[in-house]
Amino acid sequence: KKRVAVLISGRGSNMSALVEAAKHADYPAEIVAVIANKADAGGLEVAHLEGIPAIAIPHRDYASKSEHEAAVCAALVEAKADIVCLAGYMRIISPEFVAQWEGKMLNIHPSLLPLFKGLHTHEQALEAGVRVHGCTVHFVTAGMDDGPIIAQTAVPVKTGDTPDMLAKRVLSVEHETYTRALALVAQGKAVMKDGRTVFSD
């Protein structure tokens, strides 16, 4: 099984979904560490209750971004992580950090990329007037929300939707999408090669 560390900033519902999936004997990954950049991230407690080593490495405790990332990197090495999953991790990762984990770092973004990068994706979708929206799991590259796509799920936009209503509908498919994408990567069935995802059976 591949050893997976999950980086979070908040409630960690995607992290919880990965933890649940990894409880199945035939799931190809195990969650070995949860790291938050905020001491009050709700997901830390959830992970702790599951018996998973869960630590806060608050970016505010470090003088620079590179020192914070060095601390996170040290924790990932300590956990012997093979794969890193960003799950609501609201920090931009430096190109140096990304390079160290090339092809081994995944992110979930709440839109159908390449549409609506960055923040407030549900507002962006409503503003654009699209009739389908969704989520994307992709390999992390130096460009924000820009890496090769591993899995996507679409949901309808409905009349009268608010950003919150849309966010809930998207979140309801994020968990399954991330679980599926991580399994593909952990099994070597989705591999990043020359800036593309190469799939095999």
Contact (CB, 8 A) for 111 and 120: no
Among 2, 6, 7, 12, binds ligand GAR (CB under 6 A): 12
92 annotated among ligand-binding-site residues:
yes
Residue number with CB closer to ligand GAR (56 or 194)? 56
As measured in angstroms, the least distance from the Cβ of 10 to ligand GAR is 4
Residue number with CB closer to ligand GAR (14 or 141)? 14
What is residue 88's DSSP assignment? Answer: S
Verify binding: residue 163, ligand GAR, rule CB under 6 A: no
Among 5, 6, 14, 141, binds ligand GAR (CB under 6 A): 14
Q: How many amino acids of this chain bind ligand GAR (CB under 6 A)?
A: 14
Which residues are annotated as catalytic?
109
How many degrees, rounded to 5, is the angle at CA 139 between CA 144 and CA 34? 90
Among 7, 32, 37, 110, binds ligand GAR (CB under 6 A): 110
Contact (CB, 8 A) for 145 and 120: no
- Contacts of residue 154, defined as CB under 8 A and 6 or more positions apart, other chains included, come to 112, 132, 133, 134
CA-CA-CA-CA torsion sign (96, 178, 75, 196): negative
Q: CA–CA distance from 183 to each of 27, 108, 199 (Å)?
A: 7, 14, 12
Enumerate the known binding-site residues for (6R)-10-formyltetrahydrofolate: 65, 90-93, 107
Enumerate the known binding-site residues: 12-14, 65, 90-93, 107
Contact footprint for ligand GAR (CB under 6 A): 8, 10-14, 87-88, 108-110, 135, 171, 174
